[in-house]
A and B are shown apart, each in its own frame.
Chain A
Amino acid sequence: MSYFSDIYNGIKTLLTGMRVTGKYFLTSRKGAITQQYPDNRETLKMFDRFRGEVIMPHDEENQHRCTGCQKCEIACPNGTIEIIWDRGIDEETGKKKKKIDQFVYHLSMCTMCGLCIDVCPTDAIEWGQNFENSVYDRAALTRVLNEPGSKLMPGVED
């Protein structure tokens, strides 16, 4: 007798399973979880904290907040950040002072761990939300974050 009850119960479980998928089939129009990515570029907004790439914000007068302390370079586990620095003369005090020449960022080596941004004392670098980083030449992934001719924002070092 268990032979027939097995068949009955088996078919019942199969039908309940089909009910679940059938329900989703009927509501598939609004239930689709797919994002049609390149088409939804305008509406696609990443979260504020999303780690896409490291950027260095500049203000209107082309000034950044990086003092060239190299803490980020030390904190980075992969050697992603390379700071090429120089000693310049401070106009106000006339003393020799460290300033950055180039803040080199190798995006191709970055693991997005966030330690550099965490350790930065002057909030000079932060996360950018751009994630479309495909390029034809990997040299394009090595970026200089400070813009040409940019200066240190006054008052950052105090």
Chain B
Amino acid sequence: MTTALSITKNIHDWLFSTMPEGVASIVEMTLIALVYLGIFSVAGLFLVLMERRVAAWFQLRIGPNRVGFQGLLQTMADALKLLSKELTGTVKADKFLYNLAPYFVIISSLMALAVIPFTKDFHAFDINIGIFFLIAISSIGVIGILLGGWSSNNKFALIGAMRSGVQTISYELSIGLSLLTMVLITETLQLSEIVEVQKNGWLIVQGHIPAIIAFMIFMIAGTAETNRAPFDMAEAESELGAGFHTEYSGMKFAYFFLAEFINMFIIAAIAATVFFGGWLSPFGITESIPLLGVFWFLAKTLTLVFLMMWFRWTFPRLRVDQLLTLEWKYLLPINLVNIVIMAAVVWLNLTINF
């Protein structure tokens, strides 16, 4: 146990020794929530910066490089600017729902972060239905989008919200089924155990062909789930202006924006955990230093995030009916067949184990 990780244990012991058990656990939960909130608002800002730099490099540009060293503080400055901006709204908006919507979106994406294992001991909430919890939580966010689009009383926003609803409901299936394909190998829903199983080889290697198909489906569906191009139907700027958040400004807009990036991180993190062994290092080269698990986890996640950015800056957008065709006529049937293949692979013991 390294010192960094024993600090959390020390705090835990100290809290429980000084306070009654009930109070202590509440204090501990609050502390963890605050730490996560802090880390992820910064991480979200970093992802926005990363997106802008990556986009710039794809587009023969330089990207933000003025605020701070190489523009590192650019998004921080943007966030401060958005904080100080006036919150405008439409007169005929349904005020309660209009104000509620951004919190739905941001809270659901922050909740999903709780179950993601960063490394062996850096794991806020290791429940035995981890994957199930993630799938369930990630579909709550769309309620916020629907509320925001409907309540702002703008036709462009309404079209965007409806598109988003139809898209998320469809692609939920693919996300769930492609993860279930992998659960057939791991035989558990608990994320920490899923990673433990991969000590004999990452699942994408263990499950070989069906795992690769499942991974591709997961990435496509995950991109769609986060409403990013080429599936950015909800905010298709050349069609709908800004889509569901047309009428939002200031910090409420920033919540939508930040949630999009945190969702992207979550999708990439799930993919890294389930398919690429989470915190495990390749061939176990740094197994003796558990803290490096965070590094490996983030390296894998950011690589996948980069892949999603690469998609975004290369492909044209699909049309809304093609989006549904892709899901219901291609991804879903392939996924169902894939589950059967995977079941056969596991049953006949054809998985590759080192």
Q: Which residues of A contact B (CB under 8 A)?
A: 7, 14, 17-18, 20-22, 24-25, 28, 31-34, 36
Please name 14 further chain A to chain B contacts, defined as beta carbons within 8 Å, in addition to the given A21-B314, A33-B61, A36-B62, sorted by A numbering: A14-B314, A14-B315, A18-B311, A18-B314, A21-B310, A22-B310, A24-B57, A24-B60, A28-B56, A28-B60, A31-B60, A32-B60, A33-B60, A34-B62
Show 18 A/B contacts (Cβ-Cβ < 8 Å), sorted by A. Answer: A7-B330, A14-B314, A14-B315, A17-B314, A18-B310, A18-B311, A18-B314, A21-B58, A24-B57, A24-B58, A24-B59, A25-B54, A25-B310, A28-B56, A28-B58, A28-B60, A32-B61, A34-B61
Shortest beta-carbon distance, A18 to chain B, in Å?
5
Shortest beta-carbon distance, B1 to chain A, in Å?
41
Question: In whole angstroms, how far apart are the Cα atoms of A21 and B61 in the complex?
Answer: 13
- Tell yes or no: B133 within 8 A of A by CB: no
- Tell yes or no: B313 within 8 A of A by CB: yes
**Also in contact, A32 and B62, with CB within 8 A (given A14-B315, A17-B315, A25-B57):** yes
Per-residue CB contact flags for chain B residues 48-73 toward chain A (1 = under 8 Å, else 0) read 00000010111111100000000000
Contacts of B56 in A (CB 8 A): 28
B: contact size bracket: 10 to 19
Question: In whole angstroms, how far apart are the Cα atoms of A1 and B189 in the complex?
Answer: 36
Q: Which of A31, A32, A36 has the most CB of B within 10 A?
A: A32
Question: In whole angstroms, how far apart are the Cα atoms of A24 and B61 in the complex?
Answer: 10
Question: In whole angstroms, how far apart are the Cα atoms of A97 and B69 in the complex?
Answer: 65
Q: Which residues of B contact A (CB under 8 A)?
A: 54, 56-62, 310-311, 313-315, 330
Q: Lowest 6 CB-CB distances: which A-B pairs, in order?
A: A28-B57, A21-B314, A34-B62, A33-B60, A21-B58, A34-B61
Question: In whole angstroms, how far apart are the Cα atoms of A36 and B65 in the complex?
Answer: 10
Question: In whole angstroms, how far apart are the Cα atoms of A134 and B145 in the complex?
Answer: 43
Question: In whole angstroms, how far apart are the Cα atoms of A20 and B315 in the complex?
Answer: 11
Question: In whole angstroms, how far apart are the Cα atoms of A22 and B60 in the complex?
Answer: 11
A25 and B62 form a contact (CB under 8 A)? no
B313 and A21 form a contact (CB under 8 A)? yes
- A39 nearest CB neighbor, chain B only: B66
Contacts of A7 in B (CB 8 A): 330
Shortest beta-carbon distance, B273 to chain A, in Å?
25
Contacts of B311 in A (CB 8 A): 18
- A33 nearest CB neighbor, chain B only: B60
Question: In whole angstroms, how far apart are the Cα atoms of A8 and B177 in the complex?
Answer: 22
Contacts of B59 in A (CB 8 A): 24
Question: In whole angstroms, how far apart are the Cα atoms of A65 and B68 in the complex?
Answer: 52
Question: In whole angstroms, how far apart are the Cα atoms of A36 and B71 in the complex?
Answer: 14
- B59 nearest CB neighbor, chain A only: A24
Contacts of A31 in B (CB 8 A): 60
Q: Which of A17, A20, A21, A22 has the most CB of B within 10 A?
A: A21
Contacts of B54 in A (CB 8 A): 25
